[in-house]
Amino acid sequence: MFWNLCRESFAGNVCSRGSNLLVRDGGIPGAVIHLARGDFVALTVEGTEIEAGAGVRLKQLAASARSTGISGFEWMEGIPGSVGGSLRMNAGAMGMETFQRVVRVQVVNLRGEFETLRPEEMQIHYRNVPTLRDRFAVSALFRGKPGAIEKIDKELAESIQKRKSTQPVAASAGCIFKNPQECPAGKLVEELGLKNHSVGSARVSEIHGNFIVNDGNARSSEILKLIAEIQMSAKKERGIDLQTEVQIVGVDDE
């Protein structure tokens, strides 16, 4: 029954923790299931390998790696997402991406069958893993490398400091746009003079041009209008088609 509910209500629209998600004002017309128990949040370490369920938070994964002397996960510490979401989007930061550490992924297909996939068997792109469009990640095995805790702590601290100094603390859905080949999206928005540009209570952060912050009571429609204005400006002024990294789901408010 649980799987039938997932399949009927969520096919192609799994939300993970929602950290890089924008839900339209009409909400999601279906079940929203929080994977917070059982195998979904299981985490085990063996040698330099970590197996984690889809509901495990990236912060927790980074902490477990640190406590067992495994390096290569320091960049995950400040990402407010989970393993499932990072797999679906090939999340990344600080020059690293999720699938650089993945050994294999356990998934469930739309027939309710379990499969185990290795990265070489999957379509993996920048901020998009099409293979997981019609399969749901259940868990993944990651591999790091041995590291001294002092060095890991230093890299964790550097990652945290970089985030604090370059990203807003205000409410947001994370990075709005994928980085185009021409230049980083945040730099492009800044060069277009759109920092602090707003629509209603939705505003481009003055700290980082690739973040839209909520100044209080912003509606999704305001954020979507601001996104469209930025895309229009990028196309008109620079000939660049900005694509959204944030996932947009749900229905418009009637």
Q: State pLDDT tens for residues 146-195.
A: 999 999 999 999 888 888 888 887 888 889 999 999 999 999 999 999 99
pLDDT at 159: 86
Q: What is the pLDDT of residue 108?
A: 95
pTM, two decimals, is: 0.78
Low-confidence ranges of the chain (pLDDT < 50): 1-12
What is the DSSP-derived secondary structure letter of residue 43? E
Write down the pLDDT at residue 36: 81
pLDDT at 20: 81
What pLDDT was estimated at residue 77? 87
d(CA 91, CA 137): 14
Integer angstrom CA distances of residue 73 from 64, 99, 143, 166, 251 = 9, 12, 9, 20, 36
Query: What is the pLDDT, as a whole number, of residue 65?
Result: 97
Q: How many CB atoms lie within 10 A of CB 168?
A: 15
* Contact yes or no for 242/230 (Cβ under 8 A): yes
Task: State the pLDDT at residue 10.
Answer: 41
d(CA 13, CA 134): 9
Dihedral sign from CA coordinates of 149, 152, 154, 159: negative
Q: What is the pLDDT of residues 11-31, one digit of tens each?
A: 445 666 667 889 999 998 888
At 160 the pLDDT is 86
CA distance linking residue 34 with residue 66, whole number of Å: 26
- Measure CA of the first residue to CA of the last residue in the chain; give whole Å: 31
